[in-house]
Copies of this chain bind each other. A is one copy, B any other.
Amino acid sequence: MNVPVYPLHKAFGVERAVVSTYQAASGAGLDAMRELEQQARDWAEGKPLTQEIFGRQYIWNLFSHNSPQYQDNGYNQEEWKMVEETPKIFEGPFKVAVTCVRVPVLRAHCESINLQFGRKVTLDEVNSVLRAAPGIRLVDDRVNNRHPEPQLASGEDEILVGRVRLDQSVEAGYGIDMFIAGDQLLKGAALNAVQIAELLLEK
């Protein structure tokens, strides 16, 4: 989320974000990916589904993120990480409501993101900021319905951003919706480490 939202936050001031995730098996590790693959083979052969990692059917299913849930507020750790870490990364207050979900995708996470801004924006301004921001590629073809998908993001260094629209539920120009996809095995881990190292060397 941070890669496309940070430049928008700097440009327009994000007052609040509402995020729903579509997270792949890969985020839970190689064994989780292998189990999902095995379930597809089991299903195709009409066999009982292997259920050792998540203890449930994953193929043709989706479920609340598998990290532990806080009994007091109902958030799970994956969600709370975003609530707590985003203000630290953005170096300022940042309000985010988030629901994390595992979907039967092997690799690359997606997020549906709604942003409310402190000032009025146009879609052109939003797209200009996104085009100029590092680490992002706009994939937003309304005619052919080509937008960010896990299959397009897998193995890519960039976060794909699309479905960028003015939010119809707030005063015109004070919010947007967008949908993003990124290969978190790259952006979330290895590539990020390299890019942070590069930034430090530049300083």
Contact = CB atoms under 8 A, between A and B. Distances in A.
A97 B142 contact: no
Interface in A154-171: 162-170
A22 B101 contact: yes
B44 A97 contact: no
A114 B18 contact: yes
A83 interface: yes
Interface in A1-44: 16-18, 20, 22, 40-41, 43-44
B142 A74 contact: yes
Nearest to A175: B97
Nearest to A58: B151
A66 interface: yes
Interface in A134-184: 142-143, 145, 147, 149-151, 162-170, 175, 177, 179
